[in-house]
Chains A and B, each alone.
Chain A
Amino acid sequence: MSNYLFLVEDPLQQTYDAIVVGSGATGGWAAKQLAEAGLKVALLEAGRAVTPKEFTEHMPAYKLKYRDHSPEIVRTRPIQKQCYACMEYNYEWFVNDLENPYSTPAGKPFTWQRLRILGGRSMVWGRQSYRMSDNDLKAASRDGYGDDWPLSYADLAPYYDIVENYVGISGAAEGNEMLPDGKFLPPMKMSCGEIRLRERVKAKFGYTVTIGRTAILTQNHKGRLQCHYCGPCERGCSTFSYFSSPFTTVKDALASGNCTLITNAVVSQVNMDNAQNKASGVTYVDRLTRQVKEVRGKTVILCAQALESTRILLNSSTREYPSGLANSSGALGHYLMDHVVGGGASGRLADFKVLPDANEPARPNGIYIPRFRNTPTSGKHPRFIRGYGFQGGAGADFNFDAEGYGASFKKAVKEGVYSISMGAFGESLARWDNYCEIDRGLKDAWGIPALRISMTHGDNEHALMEDASATAAEMLEAAGAKDIKVQANVEMPGMAIHELGTARMGTDPKKSVLNPYNQAHDVKNLFVMDGASFVSSACQNPTLSMMAITVRACDHLIDRFHKTDV
């Protein structure tokens, strides 16, 4: 602790049964499960609390000074603004990039989009919720690349059930071999263009187009109201219709009477009782006063988001663990993944004469095409392993790109255009040389050493996006689209905002950081229950799986805790 000027110790402070670091999708679940099981939990959040009073989903853009073109975002959020959800309405939910630096090597840009506020990114997430199958979890056995997960779909399925039943996922069962069905609320409806795409893609390719499976309620569910289709979920929801942890899991954890929420707690490191080789708690910097404080706990659970959890471990090195806590394997920081995005296509369905309607309910969801490459029935693709899924949508939009000017332009805008588009999310292979480390020359505003993130998409990811672009164009053509524009770039890593890996789980302590229950091989009362534990990325949006894995790990922890075995 020599790098801190003062350390505040509260002599009356209790020792918690569990310290959960991070209050997002996974931290909220950990706090809920453990507190409801009777453990005394401290839930630490680096940001402030959030209240529905600051939700702005019903505020029209003309009430904003800059109508959503605020220079404040450019000044303080030059990285965060790359996220579509960071806008003049809500930019204060996103981290201030000037206070939260990280570095990247020359020629390897990485965009790291994050929130520090109660609920973390669950406040603004895309809400798409898909299960992984054994085609994902055991992919290495099937194509020889990388490592299998140390758990199977049968291990996860009951936990997917628990999470889906609580969260409320709307969707349609399809019986698809790559995308297991779940416990769904009624699906949202498809537009005309989407139904045509579904019919034509099934007829021509044999692939499934389904409505997005989304963590948005289509009927009242466990005290929350169904979606009212106003559209911009990422500005907050006054009816709590999309899943965010502050108004669900965290609320339950606090209601149990066993959870103490500590906001503005920027955790810098896990503290160790070296004699017993056990974690003894965490040190944090009060975000507002800059005071350094300590919380003691019998177990420490990191749910800070993949890169942040790993940063905390790397910053917690001791004499016994000189290259980062619980890093005897050397794997900590390595195998960073983020879905590859950028491939896709868009076009016009010219024969649909539907006028755009500013008052039409706005469905905050799209369509999904589950992975169809390298499946058990498709055979092996000659150019790449694994695959991608498509997300997209079709509907009538105002035609702001109409040509010309004057009264005819004004009219053309309102006549609209029926557009259809789809973009791919591709699997990001786990590679040792995609990694993060501590940048010794860079600290954040709280004096905590910052990360240096080194990641590129490889040949396989590029091949996935090329195939996705060509295939998207073929599918749109089959649907009768005109003016098809192919999007064939590969976005920089981080753009999918699906960071995974860096503290992978496995059965072999020499090759992995965590055991199959998210427990550090090296330090038995230390857990990482977030995306850091992923062995492979699959191509599905990962949050649902992260939550299921967390609930499973908590079951294990609770069981061991009562046997005093952690």
Chain B
Amino acid sequence: MKRREMIRASLFAGAAAAVRPPLSAAQSTAMPSELTPAQSGVDASKDLSAPGWKPLFLDEHQNETLIILSDLIIPATDTPGAKEALVNRYIDLVLAAESSEAQRSFLNSLGYLDGESIRRYRAAFRYLKREEQDDLLHALAYPRTASGWSGEADATPDLGHAHFEALKQRIATAYYNSQIGTKELGWDGAFAHGPYEGCTHPEGNHK
């Protein structure tokens, strides 16, 4: 949302507030810049689905890789998955605003995925067959356990798993904070759910 629109939105919010302020008119009104967009009533939920969307940070290859990866990690089932939730677009938006360290860390993880893919299949991740993508993710998704021979835990850090977890964390956060993800968790879209009933089990039988 453009700054001018934000100011307008907050002016309307101010007009509505005049209906019944709980405090006396002695209150000074806030300057628009002193409200967060949320406090001004800005609804940014449609921003990412705007036509003509282009990534702010990711290049085309990275973006396409992220779309495929996100859809493998959270696929459409009987409910929509990460691709439909435009998880790639949200991650791109956040990355564009983050520190160069955070940006580099994300690209390192995405690059590791391509590196492993090229090492194993001689092609970048996005060009693999679906089964190959699945095999590769499966190899990274679970932490390496200790080798049975020495009886000691593997001292080298499980780099592949760490990169996988970093990417998965981003994707899962983006998905479950999206409108689609919120619905996936079963939220009915209403607030004010009280009263809180707590435990309703008979004494000593909490199952």
Contact = CB atoms under 8 A, between A and B. Distances in A.
Interface residues of B, number: 73
Contact of B206 (A196, A230, A362, A363): A196
B122 to A, nearest CB: 24
B32 to A, nearest CB: 10
A288 B28 CA distance: 11
Contact of B90 (A52, A67, A405): A67
A74 B74 CA distance: 29
Chain A interface size, as a band, is 35 or more
Interface in A284-313: 288
A259 B85 CA distance: 52
Contacts of A351: 207
A88 B38 contact: yes
Interface in B145-188: 168, 172-174, 176-179, 181-182, 184-188
Given A229-B195, A230-B191, A53 B13 contact: yes
B75 A406 contact: yes
Contact of A261 (B26, B29, B40): B26
Contacts of B97: 66, 70-71
Nearest to A232: B191
A311 B4 CA distance: 39
B44 interface: yes
B77 interface: yes
B94 interface: yes
A314 to B, nearest CB: 28
B7 to A, nearest CB: 14
B204 A199 contact: yes
Contacts of A406: 72-75, 134
A49 B27 contact: yes
Contacts of A363: 196, 198
B196 A229 contact: yes
Interface stretch (B14-22, B58-66, B106-114): B14-22
B39 A89 contact: yes
A84 interface: no
A460 interface: no
A89 B193 contact: no
Contacts of B194: 226-230, 361
A358 B186 contact: yes
Contacts of A400: 172-173, 176
Contacts of A254: 23-24, 26
A381 B22 CA distance: 51
A195 interface: yes
B74 A409 contact: yes
B193 A230 contact: yes
A contact face: mostly helix, strand, loop, or mixed: loop
B77 A48 contact: no
Interface in B84-114: 90, 93-94, 97-99
A66 B23 CA distance: 32
B192 interface: yes
A479 to B, nearest CB: 10
From A59, A92, A246, A363, residue with most partner B Cβ within 10 Å: A92
B27 A358 contact: no
A53 B36 contact: no
Interface in A17-37: none
A561 interface: no
Given A49-B28, A90-B36, A228-B192, A63 B198 contact: no
B23 A63 contact: no
B50 interface: no
B47 interface: yes
Nearest to A61: B177
A60 B17 CA distance: 21
Given A228-B193, A405-B168, A92 B24 contact: no
A49 B23 contact: yes
B23 A403 contact: no
Contact of A358 (B16, B17, B185): B185
Contacts of A90: 36, 38-39
Given A228-B193, A251-B23, 11 more contacts: A51-B23, A51-B27, A53-B14, A63-B43, A90-B36, A90-B38, A189-B196, A196-B206, A199-B204, A358-B185, A405-B168
20 contacts: A51-B23, A56-B38, A62-B179, A66-B93, A69-B94, A88-B38, A90-B39, A92-B34, A189-B196, A190-B198, A190-B199, A227-B194, A247-B22, A288-B31, A351-B207, A352-B206, A359-B186, A361-B194, A405-B73, A410-B77
Q: Which 9 A-B pairs have the closest CB atoms?
A: A189-B198, A71-B97, A49-B27, A229-B194, A192-B206, A54-B39, A53-B17, A358-B187, A65-B44
Interface of A: 48-71, 74, 88-92, 118, 188-196, 199, 226-230, 240, 246-247, 250-251, 254, 260-261, 263-264, 288, 351-353, 356-363, 398, 400, 403-407, 409-410, 413-414
